[in-house]
């Protein structure tokens, strides 16, 4: 359903407006004269021109209210108190009822749709929070995704602690990670992908050495990584060896050749304590997962899989020297 979101600026003295919302009626100021009915003013403008309005009628003319329709949303800023916002869903069109000194522009709202929130709360996306601090009597909110996230958070009682800027950034960049991995495959085809992995692995903490194995001499190991493990105390630290298999794939990874290669490498390097498969495929498959699990059980050593989005994370975290060249 298509809808618009309107922000309406207020202040902590607009208590009667909040009470009206709870009764199902949205209200707007600049309506302190009896002749300020927007429908009548609009009709006069169309028939007689802008000059037909008095000075006070011109000050009360806010035609955006005539555009508000059923299904739209309004967010009152600084209602019911400074820094707080009140959200409500509109259920009909503008109407006029002159019975108070001001705030006689009106429209119906659903009382059950009302939520109060702090615009500085973590449940409000930072971009939307900024839009809720603008100056002016009213303005449009065009951030639909951020607004719908706020609606969801309010309806589900989402915790502020779970919605930090860091967690939002992590969620929003998620769709780009898989594309980064695809770009890695495109720019580092075949054996050059191994060179990239060597360069990145050298930046991983506690790595002592990274050796690329080439040709038939690799016996299933594309890269050997020697690293420190245990506590960083002379008497208890130790060196271990990681076997790395690098595969340039796309789409789903069904081929289990890499698992056979890792198995052969463990037989040639029995001192190795663990293995790692790095694949540029989008995702693993039951076929590959099963083969890796069977190998782990057979050799009683850990074998990890770095695939899809995790390859992008690996590069972004440890490939800073490469990214600096961009």
pLDDT in tens, 56-104: 999 999 999 999 999 999 999 989 888 899 999 999 999 999 999 999 9
Give whole-number Cα distances, 209 to 60, 109, 321, in Å: 75, 67, 17
Q: Which two tokens stand for residue 20?
A: 């009206």
Helix locations, 77-164, DSSP H: 126-131, 144-156
Give whole-number Cα distances, 113 to 75, 93, 124, 314, in Å: 11, 17, 17, 44
Q: What strands, in cross-sheet order, belong to the sheet with 84-89?
A: 115-118, 84-89, 73-77, 5-9, 138-141
Question: Rounded to two decimals, what is the model's pTM?
Answer: 0.57
- In this prediction, residue 219 carries a pLDDT of 83
Give whole-number Cα distances, 45 to 98, 132, 273, 281, in Å: 21, 32, 83, 63
- In this prediction, residue 238 carries a pLDDT of 83
- Report the length, in residues, of the chain: 326
- In this prediction, residue 157 carries a pLDDT of 82
- In this prediction, residue 55 carries a pLDDT of 96
Cα–Cα distance measured from residue 121 to residue 87, given in angstroms and rounded to the nearest whole number: 14
- In this prediction, residue 251 carries a pLDDT of 92
* CA 46 to centroid of chain Cα atoms: 45
- In this prediction, residue 161 carries a pLDDT of 53
Question: Which H/E stretch holds residue 180?
Answer: helix 165-187
Angle between helix 257-268 and 286-299 (nearest 10): 20
Instruction: Give ranges for CATH 3.40.1350.10 in the chain.
Output: 185-323
- In this prediction, residue 90 carries a pLDDT of 98
Instruction: Give ranges for CATH 3.10.590 in the chain.
Output: 5-163
Q: Which two tokens stand for residue 154?
A: 């309010």
Q: Which two tokens stand for residue 145?
A: 């995704």
CATH code 3.10.590 for 5-163: yes
Q: Residue 202's CB: how many other CB atoms inside 10 A?
A: 13
Q: Which of 325, 318, 306 is nearest to 181 (CA)?
A: 306
* CA 56 to centroid of chain Cα atoms: 46
Can you name the CATH fold of 185-323? Trna Endonuclease; Chain: A, domain 1 (3.40.1350)
Angle between helix 309-318 and 192-201 (nearest 10): 50
Segments of the chain with pLDDT less than 70? 1, 11-15, 159-171, 214-218, 234-236, 323-326
The residue to which tokens 């449009």 are assigned: 140
What DSSP string describes 59-102? HT--GGGGG--TT-EEEEET-SSTTEEEEEEB-S--EE---SSS
Q: Which of 302, 177, 199, 300 is nearest to 246 (CA)?
A: 199
């Amino acid at each position: 359903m298509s809808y618009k979101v309107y922000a309406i600026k207020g202040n902590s003295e607009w208590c009667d407006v909040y009470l009206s919302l709870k009764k199902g009626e949205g209200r707007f100021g600049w309506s302190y004269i009896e002749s300020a009915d927007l429908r009548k003013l609009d009709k006069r403008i169309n028939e007689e021109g802008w000059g037909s309005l008095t000075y006070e009628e011109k000050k009360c003319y806010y035609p955006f209210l005539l555009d508000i329709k059923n299904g739209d949303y309004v967010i009152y800023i600084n209602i019911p108190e400074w820094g707080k916002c009140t959200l409500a869903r509109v259920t009909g069109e503008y109407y006029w009822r002159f019975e108070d000194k001001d705030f006689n522009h009106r429209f119906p709202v659903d009382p059950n749709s009302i939520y109060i929130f702090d615009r500085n709360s973590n449940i409000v996306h930072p971009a939307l929070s900024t839009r809720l601090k603008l100056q002016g009597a009213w303005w449009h909110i065009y951030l639909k995704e951020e607004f719908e996230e706020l609606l969801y958070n309010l309806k589900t009682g989402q915790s502020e602690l779970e919605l930090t800027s860091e967690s939002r950034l992590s969620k929003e960049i998620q769709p780009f990670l898989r594309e980064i991995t695809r770009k890695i495959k495109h720019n580092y085809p075949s054996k050059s992908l191994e060179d990239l992995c060597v360069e990145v692995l050298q930046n991983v903490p506690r790595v002592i050495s990274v050796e690329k194995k080439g040709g038939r001499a690799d016996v299933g190991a594309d890269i050997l990584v020697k690293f420190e493990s245990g506590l960083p105390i002379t008497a208890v630290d130790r060196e271990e060896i990681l076997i790395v298999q690098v595969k340039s794939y796309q789409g789903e990874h069904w081929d289990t050749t890499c698992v056979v290669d890792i198995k052969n490498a463990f037989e040639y390097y029995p001192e190795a304590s663990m293995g790692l498969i790095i694949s540029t495929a989008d995702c693993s498959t039951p076929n590959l997962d099963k083969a890796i699990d069977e190998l782990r059980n057979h050799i009683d050593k850990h074998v990890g899989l770095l695939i899809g989005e995790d390859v992008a994370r690996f590069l972004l975290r440890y490939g800073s020297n490469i990214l600096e060249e961009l």
